[in-house]
Amino acid sequence: CSPPASSITELILSSFDQSLRLINESRLQSRRRFFRPSDPETLGISRAAEVFQTTVRVLSQRVRAAGTSIWTSALIAVFLILCFRENPLWGAAHTPLVRWLPAEYEDDQEEPKGWNTGRLYNGHPLPLVTHCPLSKIMRGWSSGEDDVYSLLLVEWGQYLDHDVTFTPQSTDAAAAAAAAAAAVDCLNTCENVQPCFPIKVDTTNLSDCLPFYRSTPACPVSVGAELTAVFQRQQMNAITSFIDASLIYGHTPELQSSLRDLRGFNGKLAVNQQFKDPKERAYLPSVARLPSTCRQGGQVERVECFNAGDSRANEGLPLMALHTLWLREHNRITETLKVMNDHWSPEMLYQETRKIVGALHQIITFRDYLPKIIGPESFEHFVGQYKGYDPTTDPSASNVFATAAFRFGHATIPPILRRLNESFQPHERFSQLRLHDTFFSPWRLVKEGGVEPVLRGVVGSAAPLVNPNMLLVEEVTERLLVPNVPQHLDLASLNLQRGRDHGLPGYNHWRAFCGLQPVVTLSDLTAVVGDHGVAEKIQTLYGHLDNVDVWLGGLVEKPLPRSRTGPLFACLIGRQMKALRDGDRFWWEADGVFSQQQRSQLYKVSLSGIMCDNSDTGELPRDPFRFNKYPSEYVPCAEIPSMNLDAWREDKSRGGFDHDLTIVMVNHSYG
């Protein structure tokens, strides 16, 4: 018979207390380490989620030991109080990545695929993510170049991803709670102990591994028909999923305030007080905690990590350059609006500019970027024309999008970053760089020519072509650098391990989700991949095609016509982008967001125009995502259309804009 409700409540509360004690004790014994830094609010919410998951774990252990079942509605009603948040907002920061298919954990609750040694899938063990045949499939550099698109297409993909998803990693405190002992250092263990899920390098040497922290869990925000899913481990999206330029402005009110020039009373963003470019243009401000972890080039004067709305802004030079452009664009627009509407408060100037910048991100992504990635036919099929805000559409980022589909871009990363002069030729002073020499090196932007050589390099270089037999360059499989991690990491292995950590279903499950035929035989896979040798390697590696990891399977598919993804990733990316658009009640085209005159001005803007207004690039293609050898199709900046901000001139006598609506719009996704 079932235990009485009082016993259930006592068991829950005592398990909760035990979890808190374990985590608090470990905090005193260990220091926190992260592959990527998180803001204080994210850390606090992550800790709440870790308490939730640890309590579930302790409860499960105690119930199994007692030999009784307490998974009843009474348990759920009491237990959800520990972590449940009322009225969660779809797409808000610090909420779970949504599941389009149920998670597949080895214990049905939280253990990743590959957690238990000897576990078989369809009669075969899952291959190590670093297994030799896998590296032959996924490593190596294809010399082929795209004769249609520029490298900017790759860089915008990374930039866009940082506006939509960020999955933080668990703390050492959770490891201590999971081990019910002292804290475990995930940098120095090869054991699967929460939250460490180290990447084994060799089955014959279990002490040879790469460090790996599991993604931090997320508290549930709703209870669906399947109650058991409430207790499954879900992963957090620490930022807003909307395309809202949160990577510039921040995803919490606290972070937003720290990035503003509040002392200037001008609505601007804060800028670097130590460095400017030769034309007195601004750089991003430095981080508050000094000295920072960014690399230095031997110069006497340190150049610290840049501070931005997203903590990943320093990962590479093109990413830093794009962040710098949009910082300057915000301040440029604000200056114009201040002259035009001198009665506006600093808050109104800031908020209206932010609203404009967010709209430009949406336009550039949907008009200039997305159709090139998934192809015009897939865009029409999965995204289509905008028909207005749909309140039934959940705009939250999906787990499979964040963890697999949108990581397709990792196969298009080149090993070399070219820096070009005014004639789009190799720069006389600043040579090309190996990719690993660009990681976390803001000094190169400040001390080596500013943003212009880098921007010309990504516009004036052809993007790599994806080759299913040679996908990831050695710069990211053997020389990937992460601050505070002593050894080089492997991006391919990290992606595969992350998918298993999140319990993503396999490749064939996702093909079925998208209405595609599953690959059952070697000939099926060969037809999908277009290369018999690659298909044969994959089948040999996994033993059964239902075991193929979704990231690998999607990556090796033949690209669709006029696209850079195969049918599976085109489906998953297209579905996600449609949700981000249709579920955003403040999308730039939605009724009442902008006037018709303002929308027509916004639509004139291109990324080339943003570069022209905020740098000395000089000449550019009208569409910088398309590759053209200089000087063909390049035009002077004076010939590139720009936005006329007169559409924002306010008639004071008629009341002007709805100021309150503007402020609500730019803050709607904090949650």
Q: Which residues are catalytic?
A: 162
**What does DSSP assign to residue 86?**
S
Three-state SS sequence of 3-59:
CCHHHHHHHHHHHHHHHHHHHHHHHHHCCCCCCCCCCHHHHHHHHHHHHHHHHHHHH
How far apart CA 472 and CA 309 sit, in angstroms, is: 29
**Single-letter residue type at 485:** V
Count, residues in the chain: 671
Are 579 and 572 a contacting pair, CB within 8 Å? no
Q: Which residues contact 295 (CB under 8 A, 6 or more apart)?
A: 439, 440, 441, 443
Q: How far apart are CA 278 and CA 293, in angstroms?
A: 26
Question: What is the 3-state composition of the chain as percent helix, strand, coil, each rounded to the nearest 5?
Answer: 45, 10, 45
Cβ-count burial 238-253 (b if 16+ within 10 Å, e if not)? bbbbbbbbbbbbbbbe
Q: Where are the beta strands (DSSP E) in 178-333?
A: 199-200, 209-210, 236-237
Q: Give the single-character DSSP code of 129.
A: T
What residues pair up with 489 in beta bridges, in sequence order?
480
Cα angle 494-500-502, degrees, rounded to a multiple of 5: 100
Spatial contact of 537 and 122, defined as CB atoms under 8 Å apart = no
Let me know: does 220 contact 80? Beta carbons within 8 Å. yes
**Cα separation of 323 and 435, whole Å?**
19
Q: Which residue type does 262 have? A: L
Q: Is 261 exposed, middle or buried (0-12, 13-18, 19+ CB in 10 A)?
A: middle
262: exposed, middle or buried (Cβ count in 10 Å: 0-12, 13-18, 19+): middle
Single out the residue of 53, 90, 107 nearest to residue 217, CA to CA: 53
Residue 240 · residue 668 · CB < 8 Å:
no
* Helices 152-164 & 452-459 angle (0-180, nearest 10): 110
Q: Using CA atoms, how far apart are residues 152 and 448, in angstroms rounded to an integer?
A: 20
Give me 407's structure tokens: 């990581």
Residue 124 assigned to a binding site:
no
Left, alpha or beta for 245 (phi > 0: left; psi -120 to 50: alpha)? left
Helix (H) or strand (E) holding 137: helix 132-138
One-letter amino acid of 534: V
Amino acid identity of residue 13, one-letter, is L
Q: Give dist(CA 417, CA 294) in Å, integer.
A: 19
Which pair of structure tokens corresponds to residue 251?
């995803």
What is the number of H-type helices and E-type strands within the chain? 25, 12
Whether 348 and 662 have beta carbons less than 8 Å apart is answered as yes
End-to-end CA distance of the chain: 42
One-letter identity of residue 3: P
Rounded Cα distance between 495 and 551, Å, is 7
Largest CA distance in the chain: 82
Binding-site residues for heme b sit at 410
